[in-house]
Structure formats: C-alpha cells, structure tokens
C-alpha cells in the first residue's frame, strides 16, 4: 500500500473544491468564492499550478465594486443551499454594485501580500500590472470610505468583515445591539456542521440584523459609517492592511508607479496603530469600539497579528510572546491542552474549545503567528508552531479548525485554506 503524501492530499483538496473559475472554501459549507480564502488558495495553487492561481485572483477581482470594495463573497451565480443567498443582500440598490452577485461587505485584505509573495517566486510583471490598479483602489477605499477619524485606520461594520465571526471580541458590542423587526430567515450553516461548533443563535440573529440595516441604507459608505450599529477598529484587520500596504507599495515600485499615496497611509497607520490599540498595562493589543469610544479588553489571538505586520517595538513583541503566547494558562499548550494556538486566551470566560472562533486552533492564525514570530527572531517557536500545525493536519485531515485538547477536527471537511497553507508551510522549511 502506498501512502499519499500530505502535499498530494493538499493538492487533491484544492482540486476537489475547484469550481472552474474559483475554489470553494469547503465543498458543502462554503460553496461560493470568499475573499481572504481565495487569496490563500491562490498562494497554495501557485505551488503547483500558477495559471490557475492567477485565475483565482482574477475571479475574485471580477466582484470588485465601483467604489473599490472587494466583497467578502462573490457568488458567481452558482446555485447552492448557502444562507444568506446572494439576493438577500439586495446590492442592486447601490450605484456601486458590480454586475455579478456579491455580498455588500468586505474581508481582511490579504490579497496584495499574496500577489507579492507569488511574484517574488514567479516574477510576472504583466500579471502584477494587470491587478495592481484594482488592489490600489481597494486599499484606497479602506483608508477613506472606512476611515472615521482621519487616522487612516479602517473600520469594520460587521463581525464577518473581521474574518473571525463569533470571536468573543465582538460580544460586548453585540450586547448593545437589540435587533428589532428581524427579517425572516433560516440558517444554513448548521446543516453540515454540528450546532455546538457554530455561532450561537443570538449572534447569528445580529449578523442578519446588521445586513438588514445595511441594505436599507443601500450600502452608501457615509451612511454606513454614520449609522451601522456595529463599528469597530479591528487589530487583526488593520495589521493585515498595514502589511498589505507595504506589499502593495513594493509591487508599485516594481512597476515604476508613484507611491506617495501609499506612503501616506503607511505613515499615518504607523503613527496611530500603537496609540489606538496597545494597552500598556495588559501588554496586549485590544480592538476599539468606535460607537462607545472604548477599547475592547478581550484577550484573543488577534493580539499577535501586529507581529505579522512588524508594528510592535522589540519590547512590545517580547511582552506579547513571553508574557502571553508562552504563558501556559493563556495560550501555550499545558495540561489538557496539547496544541498551539487557541484562538482565544483560555483565561477568558468565553473560551470554548470546539466552537468556531471562540477557541479552537485555526491554521490561518497559526500561519500568521509563525510568520510574525520569524520577523522578530523567535525562529524556534515559529518552527514549533509550524510543525504542530502540520501534525494536526496530518493526523486529523484538512479541517476548518481543531480542538486544541485532542487535536480532533471541527467544522468543514476538506477545507481549502488548510490545504493551501499546508503547501505554503511545507515550503517554509525548504
């Protein structure tokens, strides 16, 4: 009997989920094209099929709005049982909506970072020239249409925009939102995955309520900033954006484009990031609730994302890593917990080992964290996390997330970014 290598199995998962123009994040649970999933999927595809990686990116860009937003989901008119379906968003009431069906919100902007990484391995100036204007317009939209205080930090208007839907970071904000006249809806996400591994009902109602508010505002950017009941400056989103701005700048330089506008964003975010998010007492980065004007003091793995962007000083990095990541009561494996890195600190009363973004291990977070650790010279710890992550995949398959206690898989099977990142993280050791 021959054993199929992890890399061959990863390639099979990406092929299995290949819908022709785009790759589904999961075969049943996520049957359309998701924004940051597709960026990572393109990175994975680039290891064995570069033209297909380019097609993945082109397909995502086909959903770009006139105002520059790249939406969280491009539906590509694929029939599916996914909820919410494309019609639910009613984006046709916005003058900015694209001709293809999409959601009306965005997701963390990983794409420029991915395009740069692929280009550094397989230089292709024509492709960079083709996608650069779209990337620039998206970044400009985040730094303007989503900037409420002239800080150049971007606001998110829905937890889905954070990519970490039911993270305990958003609980307090949700408590302040009382859905009135909730539209009729029936969840689809618990059809294929156990309800105990998915968001609670009260959060789900608020996810839907927010969409109803946005569609009544016809997705007008100024109205959304003024009236969205949920408005946050997210550490994870803004760290990814800063890193992506740097990567966009490098792409611009390679094309001989002027970079003054990007330099302006980088300067302003660099100046404002630590002031806005760093909590000196806790030694953690906290998200910011714009509506109440308060930091959100919840300790989740989002606090490590600034390392990925090179934003902390050496001292801040040391406090994050030595004070928290290596702390056996918060994140480091100890006792019942055997794997890196739980998405919520285990000292948080809201930590739940199998529920979605409430605490399981996610491959994407481990990848960000390992990359960030390497930037700050913590190579040994980065390697430990990389190997632990690949070990989880080897043992439990390409799952959406994992229970850190026994390494068992949760959520969707055959999850595309777990496969894409297995390819990328295996490459890291070469």
Question: In this chain, which stretch among 33-41, 319-327, 328-336, 381-389 interacts with ligand GLC, using CB under 6 A?
Answer: 33-41
Closest chain position to ligand GLC (CB): 25
Q: Which residues, including other chains, have CB under 8 Å from residue 322's CB and lie 6 or more apart?
A: none
Q: Which residue number, 163 or 372, has a Cβ lying nearer to ligand GLC?
A: 163
CA dihedral 134, 268, 108, 282 (to 10 degrees): 170
CB-based burial label for 99 (10 Å; 0-12, 13-18, 19+)? exposed
CB-based burial label for 171 (10 Å; 0-12, 13-18, 19+)? middle
User: In the window 120-179, what residues touch ligand GLC (CB under 6 A)?
Assistant: 163, 165
List the catalytic residue out of 400, 413, 414, 424: 400
- Work out which of 18, 23, 34, 265 binds ligand GLC, going by CB under 6 A: 34
Question: In this chain, which stretch among 30-38, 46-54, 199-207, 308-316 interacts with ligand GLC, using CB under 6 A?
Answer: 30-38
The Cα angle at residue 83 between residues 78 and 85, in degrees rounded to 5: 45
Question: Shortest approach of ligand GLC to residue 8 CB, angstroms?
Answer: 23
* 400 among known catalytic residues: yes
Token pair of 121 as six digits: 């391995």
Residue with tokens 């996520």: 30
- Work out which of 37, 289, 413, 424 binds ligand GLC, going by CB under 6 A: 37
Question: In this chain, which stretch among 28-36, 41-49, 201-209, 323-331 interacts with ligand GLC, using CB under 6 A?
Answer: 28-36
Question: Shortest approach of ligand GLC to residue 163 CB, angstroms?
Answer: 4
Q: DSSP class of residue 333?
A: -
Question: How far is the C-alpha of 201 from the C-alpha of 195, rounded, in Å?
Answer: 9
Question: Shortest approach of ligand GLC to residue 417 CB, angstroms?
Answer: 7
CB 295 within 8 A of CB 274: no
CB 257 within 8 A of CB 132: yes
SS3 248: helix
Q: Which residue number, 240 or 307, has a Cβ lying nearer to ligand GLC?
A: 240
* 246 among known catalytic residues: no
H or E stretch covering 289:
strand 287-289
Binding to ligand GLC by residue 203, rule CB under 6 A? no
Binding to ligand GLC by residue 30, rule CB under 6 A? yes
Binding to ligand GLC by residue 36, rule CB under 6 A? yes
H or E stretch covering 296:
strand 294-296
Q: Which residue number, 34 or 285, has a Cβ lying nearer to ligand GLC?
A: 34
Active site residues: 165, 400
Site of interaction with ligand GLC (CB under 6 A) = 25, 30, 34, 36-37, 163, 165
């Amino acid at each position: 009997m021959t054993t199929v290598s992890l890399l061959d199995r990863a390639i099979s998962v990406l092929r299995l989920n290949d819908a022709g123009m785009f790759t589904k994040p999961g075969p049943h649970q996520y049957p359309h094209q998701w924004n940051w999933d597709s960026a990572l999927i393109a990175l994975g595809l680039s290891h064995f099929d570069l033209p297909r990686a380019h097609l993945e990116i082109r397909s995502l860009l086909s959903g770009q709005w006139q105002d520059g937003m790249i939406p969280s989901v491009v539906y590509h008119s694929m029939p599916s049982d996914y909820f919410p379906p494309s019609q639910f968003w009613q984006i046709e009431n916005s003058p900015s909506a694209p001709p293809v069906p999409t959601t009306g919100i965005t997701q963390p902007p990983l794409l420029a970072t991915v395009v740069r990484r692929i280009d550094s391995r397989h230089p292709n100036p024509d492709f960079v020239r083709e996608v650069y204007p779209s990337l620039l317009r998206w970044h400009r939209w985040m730094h303007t249409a989503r900037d409420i205080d002239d800080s150049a930090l971007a606001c998110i208007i829905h937890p889905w925009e954070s990519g970490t839907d039911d993270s305990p970071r958003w609980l307090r904000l949700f408590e302040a939102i009382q859905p009135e006249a909730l539209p009729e809806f029936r969840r689809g996400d618990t059809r294929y995955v156990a309800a105990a591994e998915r968001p609670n009902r009260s959060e789900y109602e608020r996810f839907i309520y927010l969409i109803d508010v946005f569609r009544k505002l016809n997705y007008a950017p100024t109205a959304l900033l003024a009236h969205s009941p949920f408005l946050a400056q997210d550490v994870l989103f803004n760290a990814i954006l800063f890193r992506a701005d740097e990567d966009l700048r490098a792409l611009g330089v390679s094309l001989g484009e002027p970079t003054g506008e990007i330099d302006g964003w980088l300067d302003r975010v660099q100046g404002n990031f630590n002031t806005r998010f760093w909590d000196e007492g806790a030694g953690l980065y906290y998200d910011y609730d714009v509506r109440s004007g308060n930091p959100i003091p919840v300790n989740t793995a989002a606090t490590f994302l600034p390392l990925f962007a090179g934003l902390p000083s050496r001292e801040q990095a040391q406090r994050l890593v030595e004070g928290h990541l290596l702390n056996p009561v918060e994140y480091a494996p100890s006792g019942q917990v055997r794997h890196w890195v739980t998405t919520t600190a285990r000292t948080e009363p809201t930590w739940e080992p199998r529920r979605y973004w409430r605490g399981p291990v996610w491959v994407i977070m481990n990848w960000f964290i390992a990359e960030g650790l390497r930037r700050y010279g913590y190579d040994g710890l980065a390697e430990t996390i990389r190997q632990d992550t690949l070990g989880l995949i080897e043992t439990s398959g390409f799952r959406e997330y994992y229970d850190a206690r026994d390494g068992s898989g949760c959520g969707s099977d055959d999850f595309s970014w777990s496969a894409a990142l297995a390819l990328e993280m295996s490459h890291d050791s070469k």
